[in-house]
């Protein structure tokens, strides 16, 4: 039986109003109609009023938890009444079959959550030639190295993911303040219910806007460092075996292949941007590793100061 799906879109800034309106319009145009569309506004009264006034048929609620994406998502879960809760970013648009492709997978009782592909919408419609596809996660999108067919995965990506609501409630929602909230939640779910599956369905696609500010080398490196820090905390919480399982495979196989491909493009095709892509992969890996090292130190210090033993709470 196809479940009822509540779709949560979190928003925080009026400057992204046009993108938010486009996101909602794409949900209203789905071939399978959602049970409800919930826009959660993160501590912004004027944006909340605008959403309530300008988005008829949409339930607009405030984030009544701590400021940030995790609290907003938890507020959306609390407001949802569907048996499945799906999440879409406020700067993404869902393709017409998106919800149908996600929802049908829940006919299998062992499926706890389903996510889909996320394609970047680059400024001016053109990917920066130096930007390696292996690092599209930097801009919140699926990246080269992920499966090309439907398959179980360790974790889903926040821009395009869904879960059974009863499981979200059992888990107490997203943990706040650590970063990589969805990764931590997915691992925690699988640790609690190893008999259940998280499914990645590439065909259930959304398009994710990439602003000009995120298509620059400075943002690339900053985001890599932050990701490393966040993964360090996640691995401290859930253990290194689960926290870094996917990253080990990615580092050992996907990134070396990307460096080789970029170097080959430079040598054989005289594509100087191939060398730039190879260099960006190396720089991204080194920067992420540096962030991870800093994050591990901070996690241990926080645990010692607050008297935590073992994992963070």
264-311: per-residue pLDDT in tens? 999 998 899 999 999 999 999 999 999 999 988 877 776 665 554 444
Residues 59-97 have pLDDT tens digits of 999 999 999 999 999 999 999 999 999 999 999 999 999
* DSSP 8-state code for residue 212: G
Residue 133 near residue 210 (C-beta atoms within 8 A): no
Q: Strand (E) positions, the chain?
A: 5-11, 36-41, 59-62, 84-89, 92-94, 111-121, 151-152, 160-164, 197-209
Instruction: Please compute the mean of the pLDDT values over residues 42-65 and round it to a whole number.
Output: 96
* 228 shares a domain with 194: no
CATH of the domain at 86: 3.90.550.10
* 225 shares a domain with 197: no
Ranges of H-type helices in 33-126: 45-54, 69-79, 98-104
Task: Give the CA dihedral 302, 308, 310, 312, nearest 10 degrees.
Answer: -60
**For residue 48, what pLDDT band results from cuts at 50, 70 and 90?**
very high
Cα–Cα dist 278/4, whole Å: 45
What is the count of structural domains for the chain?
2
* 196 shares a domain with 120: yes
Mean pLDDT of the chain: 93
* 124 shares a domain with 260: no
Residues 232-267 have pLDDT tens digits of 888 887 777 776 778 888 999 999 999 999 999 999
Which residues on neighbouring strands pair with residue 116, listed in sequence order?
201
- Pick the last residue of a domain from 153, 177, 212: 212
Residue ranges making up the domain that contains 130:
1-212
- Model-level pTM? 0.92
* 40 shares a domain with 23: yes
* 248 shares a domain with 203: no
* 128 shares a domain with 50: yes
Phi, psi at 43, each rounded to 5°: 55, 55
* 163 shares a domain with 34: yes
Residue length of the chain: 313
* 180 shares a domain with 221: no
Cα–Cα dist 45/14, whole Å: 10
- Pick the last residue of a domain from 212, 231, 263: 212
- Pick the last residue of a domain from 184, 212, 240: 212
* 249 shares a domain with 155: no
Q: Is 154 exposed, middle or buried (0-12, 13-18, 19+ CB in 10 A)?
A: middle
Among 4, 3, 55, smallest CA distance to 26 is for 55
* 170 shares a domain with 30: yes
What integer pLDDT is reported at residue 211 of this predicted model? 95
* 73 shares a domain with 116: yes
**157 CB-near residues (< 8 Å, 6+ apart):** 115, 118, 137, 140, 141, 142, 182
């Amino acid at each position: 039986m196809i479940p009822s799906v509540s779709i949560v879109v979190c928003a925080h800034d009026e400057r992204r109003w046009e993108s938010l309106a486009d996101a909602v319009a794409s949900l209203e145009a789905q071939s399978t109609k959602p049970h409800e569309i919930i826009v959660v506004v993160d501590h912004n009264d004027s944006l909340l009023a605008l959403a309530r006034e300008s988005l008829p048929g949409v339930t607009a609620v405030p984030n009544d938890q701590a400021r940030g994406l995790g609290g907003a998502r938890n507020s959306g879960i609390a407001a949802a009444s569907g048996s499945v809760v799906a999440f879409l970013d406020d700067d993404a648009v869902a393709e017409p079959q998106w919800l149908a492709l996600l929802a049908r997978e829940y006919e299998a009782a062992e499926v706890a959550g389903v996510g889909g592909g996320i394609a970047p919408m680059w400024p001016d419609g053109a990917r920066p030639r130096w930007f390696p596809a292996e690092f599209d996660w930097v801009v919140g999108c699926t990246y080269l190295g992920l499966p090309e067919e439907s398959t179980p995965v360790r974790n889903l990506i926040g821009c395009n993911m869904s879960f059974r609501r009863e499981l979200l409630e059992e888990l107490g929602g997203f943990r706040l303040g650590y970063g990589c909230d969805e990764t931590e939640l997915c691992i925690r779910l699988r640790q609690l219910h190893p008999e259940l599956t998280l499914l990645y369905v590439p065909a259930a696609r959304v398009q994710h806007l990439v602003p000009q500010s995120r298509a620059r080398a400075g943002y690339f490196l900053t985001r890599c460092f932050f990701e490393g820090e966040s993964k360090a905390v996640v691995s401290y919480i859930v253990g290194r075996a689960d926290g870094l399982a996917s990253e080990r495979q990615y580092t050992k196989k996907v990134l070396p292949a990307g460096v080789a491909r970029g170097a080959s493009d430079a040598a054989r095709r005289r594509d100087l941007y191939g060398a730039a892509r190879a260099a960006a992969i190396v720089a991204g890996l080194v920067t992420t590793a540096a962030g991870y090292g800093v994050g591990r130190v901070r996690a241990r210090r926080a645990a010692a100061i607050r008297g935590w033993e073992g994992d963070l709470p």
